[in-house]
Structure 1
Amino acid sequence: MSPRIINGEKSDIDSWPFMVALVSKHREVNKGLFCGASFLGGRYILTAAHCVDSKEKLDLDAVIGISDLTQNDVTEHRYSVKEIYVHEDYKNVEDGNDIAIIELEKEAAYTSVNLADQYLRNNLPVGETLTVMGWGDQDPAPGRDSTLFKNELYQVNVPLVKQSLCPDSVKNNDNAFCAGFENGGYDSCQGDSGGPIVVASGNGYEQLGVVSWGQGCAEAGNYGVYTNISHFTDWISAKTQGLSYRQSEFVGTKYLGTHSHSFSINNNTDQIVRTSGVTIQGVGALVTANTCSEIAINESCAITVNYNVDKLDAGAVSVKVLTDLPLTPSFDVALSYVGVEAASAGLRNMLSIANTEVYVSENAWVKNGSSIETPVLGNGEFAQLTMTGLAPGSLSFNVNISTEKNYDYFNIYINGHFYFRTSGPGSGVITLGLSRNNNTVVLEYKKDDNYSYGNDRVTISKVTHSVDGKSDIPDGHSTSKSSGSSGGAINWISVLSLGLLAFVRRRSV
């Protein structure tokens, strides 16, 4: 078989002018692609929640209106992101609500996609031909370590499937639908996530769904699952009416004590926005100033809060704001942080990466010869090692794990977001892609509340950092399932020479 999106065909250069590639910041477009999306017009882009739920504006760019990721003028199509809005009820792909809106820093002038409404969706017959496109993996073989990506945009036709044939989590849920062939062979795959699936109509083509998830790629009996756009018509309208705010922001490492932060809200709607109440959640959190009671058109305001960091661990503060804006009766803004204390001089000397600071939690990692290891932990305890100030590029280290499988975990967080987890005995080399100008990586060993196994320890050594220009490992979206998936986001966390080290495989959602 010739490799295709999965057995589709190369798209004509002007077939899908609304197509968007989501790429990691500070990466070449063809190397940094991790998801697809569609252009809604003005400053807004539609994609899947699982593509961006662990990302912020500093992590990605949007490339609009091209079919070849290596074309000469690709940089002219690249736009910075201002805000990301993930559906408030999104938890994981199988529970649905896998939808998100990206707001650009400035308006873009490209052909926008037409979105299907509920009438069109409800009147499509089973078997209706749908077209899905993307730059994702074209190698459908399950369990392989290789991937096959093309610089050119590809497309494939798949039929709409009867809702009762969808996975159990979807069949009784209107927020998603399925498409594909009973015998498999044609499908979207990893890297196509967030992209559009369209149907021909009297208006040309209308976007019916967003590539979400599935078991494997093009496997018999496993249909692709797509977010049903028409279910979210009001939500999309609300997020694109012009109220701009930071839904979630990682503010970095914080010492114990009281800290302050200001949330900024911009009113780019066509009416004055009035707020009627502000509530706050977080340890010792309180609102100290609020200029958002009335926000004039094209004006901004700020809500300033104080919060208390009372433990050496991750924490968060959230604020809910009530408004009189149609379709947006309320919205939430939030910050997250990690409470830290300075690491020992010996530990800092072993991790002497330029412009990087090293911190630890209450149960501090310790130096042991040429390695760094977790201390002896009691049941229910954890130990964190935090590195901040890491430049764009890649961070690599050897790891040796001797823990109780499926109970004790080695976790990795990048810029406040969960990226990787493994458990049990094993060893290998882990390489993490870093996309921001200033990155924070947290390595955590966490014990369960009961038993012990092995040495109950994680050891790392040979920690190296390669700056941009010396590494081709891009940042990306960590995944949460070990089974394959149609349209899963690319897992750019690279784990090499693993031996027995368990980790989440590609084509995971």
Structure 2
Amino acid sequence: MKYFLCACLAFTALLVTANASNQSTVPIAKPKIVGGELANQGDWPWMAALVSTYSEVSTSLQVAGTGYDSSPFSNSPADQASATMVDCGIGDSQCSAASNKICLIARGDVDFSVKVDNCQAGGGIGAIIFNNTAGAINGTLGDNFSGSIPVIAISQDDGATLLNLLGSIASLNVTAQQKIVQSSSCGASFIGEKWLLTAAHCVEDANINLLKVNVGEYDLSNGAENAKAIKRIYIHPEYNKGSAFNNDIALIELIEAIDNPAVTLVDLDSSRQLALDNAAVTVIGWGNQTAYGPNDELPANDQPDKLRQVELNLLSNEQCKDKLAQAYTDLEGINYLPDQVGITDSMICANHVGGGKGSCQGDSGGPLLVNTNQGWQQIGIVSYGIGCANAEFPGVYARVGQFTDWINNISKGIAIEPTYDFAITPQHTAQTTQLTVSNNSELTANLTFTLVIDKIGSTGFSLTPNSCNTLVAKQKCTITLAFDAKTLGQHKMRIIINSNDDNIPTSQSFISAQAIAANNVINTQLSSGSTELLWFSGGDKPWLLDNSEAAISSGEISDNQQSSVMLTFTGAGSLSFYWSVSSEENTEDPSSPYDALYLIIDGEKVDFISGEVPYAKVTIPNLAEGKHQITWLYLKDGATSNGEDKAYLKEVVFTPETAPADTSATSPPPVQTASKSSGGSVTYLLLLLTLLPFKRRRS
């Protein structure tokens, strides 16, 4: 079943350039308010928007005296340049004709930042990048961009026009304005002190340095200066366990408590009765406003600035399952049973008889509300839907009453990061990490920590409580968690925290790790038996030789499985390789792939390819001195397979740096890559975001 989230983008610090029986292929939409009305300012004071704030940027372009529409790249220097315009192709190498010129560059094949670097390396003083598809480019040069020349984007049509004007004078300008503006991605609800509720899928890859919360927001066109900084995000540890978007809830902790009205939550028993009564509910948000069906193309974005609301009616889970089973059966001609549609006890459904009203893209994470004898209370969180405001497909919400204990354990008790996943680890290698423990209660707690194995055969974990055995109210500490990869395979365990006082609730943390084996066959094939460039492989199936291409290919994995291969080495320099994939592609949203090959540099996921992508070369320049782990991970979701369902890798070359290395770098370098899903860092303007994969079914 192809699920598209009912909300908007998840924030991430990473820069990405771009058939099971009885499984549906219906797209699940990202929610918005459809068929509703403008909310009254002040009616919902605890409504919040997840936002990115930034300085407004303006651009201009004139060529041969004619003006052209342009748009900025985030992280472009604010400057102006005027000079003769030259063609620099796709910018995949230093532009030798660029000295004291303006570079005209086509989008495609390599990261935007690499294109600009190659322009400046050739002496260029400004860059114009034109699209290779219809529409505008909303792009970023990345946090690590160090170039100093101004960069703007133009359309594909204007790019074709300018190719006929080479040699003309081009004048471009990038100006940063003083006004701070905001862009909203999801909704949230304020539940008191410094805590908010939202959907897990809104924040599962969030960078809290970029994401903020605007509590009590109404009009997104102003008020960006009121956005509050985030201290920590707690995603439910069993999010997606057992069903797509199951337990789709997260807590956001602000750096400081705020004095603002808070919404109260409907308890579990009341939510069940209200659903049986088909009670009237209201959902609010800044999502899109156009309804569409499961087989319709996604409409153009039409998210409003001002908050909107719409009235719906609850369904019992039995009614929701029956309705969805019939809708899937009618749509696909396959007999669906109610228990096959993925509705769990952690969900609650709502719709409008006859359709035309509901939530959609941009509304995710926002509250579903019911008017009780205690006033307005929150009964759900916008999670997902099939199409938008479709009569046959009810919208699905996280049932907040199911999570009362989890919310209280964290916000009023002993909180620990709900999950931690050690990076894929070579066998006989040890890793350690520090996990933060916070006492959010009003009492001093005496604590004990216990490791509980969740998977038979899991070994290698150890825990040191450090100074966390006694924790004063409103204070935090860190425990040390270690994983020694002696035993191959996947390992899972939990950290259980116990308090000496029953009045202090506690939470737990789910830990996972994976140890992969040395692979001498791959080492011989790709590194000529080098003792410095060492290869490891594992996952559900290891990578294998593909002698037809003098390459290696991913193992024969099935749904919800993975196959990984890793290269380890020490030293500064650059790494290059060719990669290819033949897999199921998400054609509606290529940035959120179904089955894909991922590139992970020193534990940070930085790129992927998906679909039918022939061999393309990738160069990772400027790797700093030290130990490096480069991992290629082929990951399948829980549904359809297309193509060969394999990933390929060949011609892996590490070139040591000859000059002394700059050891100050602490984050992965920009990646120069060619892939079907790239052609530049495609992101929403100035958010510095990208989508890591949201899977339709997750393991």
| Same fold at TM > 0.5 | yes
Separation (CA, whole Å) in 1 of partners of 2:424 and 2:564: 15
State the SS of the aligned residue for 1:45: strand
Kept in 2: contact 1:30–1:151 (CA 8 A): no
Kept in 2: contact 1:31–1:472 (CA 8 A): no
Spell out, residue by residue over 1:306-335, the C-alpha distance to the aligned partner (whole angstroms, 9 max, x if none): 322469999877533333454735512647
2:38 paired residue number: 10
Counterpart residue type for residue 470 of structure 2? E
Shift of 1:480: 2.7
Separation (CA, whole Å) in 2 of partners of 1:338 and 1:150: 48
Kept in 2: contact 1:279–1:321 (CA 8 A): no
State the SS of the aligned residue for 1:237: helix
1:159 paired residue number: 313
**Pairing 1:461–2:674 present:** yes
Spell out, residue by residue over 1:47-90, the C-alpha distance to the aligned partner (whole angstroms, 9 max, x if none): 2233334546456332211112221x313223223231415465
Counterpart residue type for residue 410 of structure 1? A
| Worse overlay, 180-189 or 417-426 | 417-426
Q: 1:199 to 1:373 in 2, by over 3 A?
A: farther
Counterpart residue type for residue 50 of structure 1? H
TM-score, length-scaled by structure 2 = 0.52
* Structure 1 segment 254-333 matched on structure 2, within 5 A: 257-279=429-451, 283-309=459-485, 318-324=494-500, 325-326=502-503, 328=505, 330-332=507-509
Shift of 1:17: 1.3
Kept in 2: contact 1:10–1:154 (CA 8 A): yes
Counterpart residue type for residue 49 of structure 2? A
Shift of 1:188: 0.6
Q: 1:229 to 1:295 in 2, by over 3 A?
A: same
TM-score, length-scaled by structure 1 = 0.68
* Structure 1 segment 409-420 matched on structure 2, within 5 A: 409-412=595-598
Counterpart residue type for residue 77 of structure 1? A
1:234 paired residue number: 405
Structure 2 counterpart of 1:208, from 379, 385, 388: 379
Structure 1 counterpart of 2:247, from 85, 97, 100: 97
Kept in 1: contact 2:463–2:480 (CA 8 A): yes
Shift of 1:184: 1.1
State the SS of the aligned residue for 2:390: coil
Kept in 1: contact 2:555–2:646 (CA 8 A): no
Kept in 1: contact 2:449–2:465 (CA 8 A): no
Separation (CA, whole Å) in 2 of partners of 1:10 and 1:316: 48
1:144 paired residue number: 297
2:137 paired residue number: none
Q: 1:183 to 1:478 in 2, by over 3 A?
A: farther
2:419 paired residue number: 248
Kept in 2: contact 1:63–1:78 (CA 8 A): yes
1:445 paired residue number: 634
Counterpart residue type for residue 268 of structure 1? N
Kept in 2: contact 1:67–1:152 (CA 8 A): yes
| Worse overlay, 188-197 or 419-428 | 419-428
- The number of aligned residues is 440
1:375 paired residue number: 552
Highest RCO, 1 vs 2 (Cα 8 Å, sep ≥ 6): 2
Separation (CA, whole Å) in 2 of partners of 1:90 and 1:404: 21
Shift of 1:217: 1.3
Separation (CA, whole Å) in 1 of partners of 2:552 and 2:288: 41
Separation (CA, whole Å) in 1 of partners of 2:642 and 2:32: 48
Shift of 1:43: 1.3
Kept in 2: contact 1:269–1:297 (CA 8 A): yes
Kept in 2: contact 1:34–1:476 (CA 8 A): no
Separation (CA, whole Å) in 1 of partners of 2:515 and 2:450: 25
Spell out, residue by residue over 1:354-378, the C-alpha distance to the aligned partner (whole angstroms, 9 max, x if none): xxxx998559999xxxxx9963456
Separation (CA, whole Å) in 1 of partners of 2:642 and 2:365: 42
Shift of 1:261: 2.4
**Pairing 1:223–2:394 present:** yes
Q: 1:56 to 1:385 in 2, by over 3 A?
A: farther
2:189 paired residue number: 38
Q: 1:306 to 1:5 in 2, by over 3 A?
A: closer
Counterpart residue type for residue 166 of structure 1? C
Spell out, residue by residue over 1:272-300, the C-alpha distance to the aligned partner (whole angstroms, 9 max, x if none): 22224421656522224543333222333
Structure 1 counterpart of 2:350, from 179, 183, 186: 179
Q: 1:466 to 1:269 in 2, by over 3 A?
A: same
**Pairing 1:479–2:694 present:** yes
Separation (CA, whole Å) in 1 of partners of 2:220 and 2:534: 39
Separation (CA, whole Å) in 2 of partners of 1:412 and 1:24: 26
| Worse overlay, 32-41 or 331-340 | 331-340
Kept in 2: contact 1:162–1:178 (CA 8 A): yes
| Worse overlay, 454-463 or 221-230 | 454-463
Shift of 1:136: 1.8
Q: 1:87 to 1:403 in 2, by over 3 A?
A: closer
Separation (CA, whole Å) in 2 of partners of 1:264 and 1:116: 30
Shift of 1:198: 1.0
**Pairing 1:401–2:590 present:** no
Separation (CA, whole Å) in 1 of partners of 2:221 and 2:534: 41
* Structure 1 segment 191-206 matched on structure 2, within 5 A: 191-206=362-377
Kept in 2: contact 1:210–1:226 (CA 8 A): yes
Counterpart residue type for residue 76 of structure 1? N
Separation (CA, whole Å) in 2 of partners of 1:53 and 1:232: 18
Separation (CA, whole Å) in 2 of partners of 1:464 and 1:340: 34
Separation (CA, whole Å) in 1 of partners of 2:393 and 2:480: 49
Separation (CA, whole Å) in 2 of partners of 1:386 and 1:113: 50
User: Which has more radius of gyration?
Assistant: 2
Separation (CA, whole Å) in 1 of partners of 2:255 and 2:377: 26
Separation (CA, whole Å) in 2 of partners of 1:163 and 1:70: 38
**Pairing 1:82–2:297 present:** no
Identity %: 26
Shift of 1:211: 1.5
State the SS of the aligned residue for 2:315: coil
Separation (CA, whole Å) in 2 of partners of 1:176 and 1:230: 10
Separation (CA, whole Å) in 1 of partners of 2:490 and 2:229: 31
Spell out, residue by residue over 1:141-193, the C-alpha distance to the aligned partner (whole angstroms, 9 max, x if none): 24324442222221111122344320235899654322112321101112212
Separation (CA, whole Å) in 2 of partners of 1:23 and 1:240: 22
Shift of 1:258: 2.3
| Worse overlay, 410-419 or 299-308 | 410-419
Kept in 1: contact 2:183–2:220 (CA 8 A): no
State the SS of the aligned residue for 2:284: strand
Kept in 2: contact 1:56–1:84 (CA 8 A): no
Structure 2 counterpart of 1:128, from 256, 263, 279: 279
Query: Higher strand share goes to which structure?
Result: 1
Separation (CA, whole Å) in 1 of partners of 2:534 and 2:207: 23
